[in-house]
Chain A
Amino acid sequence: MAKKYIITTKEEDRIIAFAKELSTLDNGYWHSVLNDTAYPNTTCYAYDADGKIAEVDGSEQAKIGEPIEIPAKVKAEKYCYTAEDGFFENPDYEEE
């Protein structure tokens, strides 16, 4: 299983992205380093193996631990994730 950080929506806990490397930008947004893609910390949580990563305001980098082992069946949008419940299927997901 690959190890990655998880980005979810705060509203639905829906997984919207995985990141092999994670950092934070000057505005505190989560930053998937290898894809150079950012996700607002106002609307998105980020998780490492220790759970939900504490948000920062951008004046300092977030303290980011080890990535999470991602089961092969887990896909963005199709699954949700919380530190308490782990991975579970997104009830609103519809195949195209």
Chain B
Amino acid sequence: MDILVSGLLLAGTYALVAMGLNLQYGVARIMNLANGELLVLGALASFWLFVSAEMSPLLTIFLVAPVAFAGNWLIYRFLLLPLVKRAKSQGHLEVDAILATFGMSFIMVGLMLSIHGEYFTYEFLTQPITILGSIVALNRFIAFLIAVAIGAGLYLWLNHTRPGAAMRAVAVSPEAAGLVGIDVARMSAFAFATGGAVTAVGGALISTFITLDASIGVLFTMKALIIVIMGGVGDIRGAILAAIILGIVETAVATLIDPGLTLTAAYLIFLLILLFRPQGLFGRRAT
């Protein structure tokens, strides 16, 4: 039971890390290597407001979300859209986007180092609560609930609203979506901005229980990439399922075998999925 509860909470963390990238890569077709840095930026905002103004991270996320949305929208409009327009093919765009966002990640690391080079450490709701007989930290549980809310919200929106349907259409085929009157550029910008907002909110929440620093973003980018690729690009259910698998397996391995083997287990699963289902759990086969 401990394993299931802790594993699900860890899955919530991983879902927060990966859902944003899933939208950005799945719909806007931007392989955003600055994803982890954006997450750390959200964490920095949360840390900084908590330490200087004693503002609860649970309030900070309502500030972080619109700011990150606007910031990412601007980044897409002015930095990435020119790349999208001149790209001759999907592959071409991916290479350009990877290079551009990789550079962006350095700028963001530099900015964050100049603001606060030390560890973002503070204590917020570390107290224990008991869930199904298992002790967990309240801050992790809250992050999990919000991850569930964001995941469910995105799923419902994508599958049960018109803009959501348009978004999925863009994810499947930008050309065809354009032919049926969907403003692909606008939809992509919207997806990129939403993804950014989700990632930054995730960072703000994660900072309550993981100690981050300005340079740690790349670890989260890696994790997000693994989850997105495992789950299948452009499908929010895939990212969530992949996060759950990783969370539970890592916790089970840490508890039953050895904490030293968690990374091995995670990469083993990743390898197996790449071998037997290269398109990801929910991905479509490339046509």
A and B are partners in one complex rather than unrelated chains: no
List residues of chain B with CB under 8 Å of any chain A CB.
Answer: none
Q: Which residues of A contact B (CB under 8 A)?
A: none
